[in-house]
Amino acid sequence: MAKEGVEKAEETEQMIEKEAGKEPAEGGGGDGSHRLGDAQEMRAVVLAGFGGLNKLRLSRKAMPEPQDGELKIRVKACGLNFIDLMVRQGNIDNPPKTPLVPGFECSGIVEALGDSVKGYEIGDRVMAFVNYNAWAEVVCTPVEFVYKIPDDMSFSEAAAFPMNFVTAYVMLFEVANLREGMSVLVHSAGGGVGQAVAQLCSTVPNVTVFGTASTFKHEAIKDSVTHLFDRNADYVQEVKRISAEGVDIVLDCLCGDNTGKGLSLLKPLGTYILYGSSNMVTGETKSFFSFAKSWWQVEKVNPIKLYEENKVIAGFSLLNLLFKQGRAGLIRGVVEKLIGLYNQKKIKPVVDSLWALEEVKEAMQRIHDRGNIGKLILDVEKTPTPLVTTGEAEAGESLEPGRQKLQ
């Protein structure tokens, strides 16, 4: 059972008073929740079944209450990741049953504490990992997956922080042992993880970063990457032209034939890390042809060859490490180091755009089209935005429905 604290953040207290004082109008109260009898409800994005964008809808669900060891968080912002597209398509191992609420990370304000929770108070500003259910107005998650955020970190930045920076940090420093003078190749350099990798590499002296990205992103990210190549170019030859020996670390979120290419680029004692398989996502729905093609193109690794060439091949799944392999303690230590770097102004999440919950389909399409530079955020309190805002219309710039660019 949840236990209410004595002190509340002013914002949280106002929400509670609103709910107690009056029945909200159609569409919810000021905090998006309302009461039906004794039950409170909230808005949430629901995936009705695996497939295309039409499987997503904004619905009302019963508001969860924290169990023993859990925190209840009033969500302000949620992160949108490529893995969410794969979940929507059912393009993952052992997908959960639908209907479900997608999303694995969020930020917000602590609203209630479950029994035995220590170290947090109602009103704390936090970011959290959630094993699904993040795309909602309220979430409950175990305390080991929750982290306090700095006072000057916005909720949108906090929602863009956990998945991207923890993934980048663990791969670079825990798996590949990045050190001064080394070189790194990262695919999708303009995405959330790609930009986190570039920033973290800049904290180590004399690290060379090779990146692949769509040509239209090059101008925006050119200062964060040492050498930038078009995602469709022969990057193997381009890298070898600059560095004949290749690179020390390859970070691959694409899979398919890029696995063999990445291994071929490794220097002796180099490390190749696979942390995604976005090449399997081509159309709006799961494609067995794309899956089979990507699987067939993966170079079959011969351990004897790795031994002879002194190369290391690894895989990394942050969600499995957290939710299946019980490494929350390791990840907490990583988050503390990352917050230290943030406080030192050495890293900062790159937020591409903010979207209302009602605009989740458009936001997901933008990721599918690889149109984002940095992270897309679902802003729980944001109202849907017209196709073109006044300022952008004057500048002659049109945006997708709902997209709010950040300066």
Residue 103: C-alpha distances to residues 135, 272, 369 (Å): 5, 28, 19
Q: Going residue by residue through the chain, which has 407 residues, state the pLDDT in tens, using 9 for 90 and above.
A: 444 443 444 444 444 333 333 333 334 444 555 554 456 999 999 999 999 999 999 999 999 999 999 999 999 999 999 999 999 998 888 889 999 999 999 999 999 999 999 999 999 999 999 999 999 999 999 999 999 999 999 999 999 999 999 999 999 999 999 999 999 999 999 999 999 999 999 999 999 999 999 899 999 999 999 999 998 889 999 999 999 999 999 999 988 788 889 999 999 999 999 998 765 555 555 455 454 445 545 667 788 989 999 999 999 999 999 999 999 999 999 999 999 999 999 999 999 999 999 999 999 999 988 889 999 999 999 999 865 433 443 344 444 545 555 54
By the 8 A CB rule, do 312 and 119 touch? Answer: no
pLDDT at 28: 44
pLDDT at 15: 42
Q: Is the peptide bond before 96 cis (omega within 30 degrees of 0)?
A: no
Cα(59)–Cα(51) distance, rounded to whole angstroms?
A: 18
Residue with tokens 């945006």: 399
pLDDT at 276: 85
pTM of this structure? 0.84
> What number of other Cβ atoms are within 10 A of residue 151's Cβ?
7
Cα(72)–Cα(63) distance, rounded to whole angstroms?
A: 10
By the 8 A CB rule, do 211 and 198 touch? Answer: yes
By the 8 A CB rule, do 113 and 99 touch? Answer: no
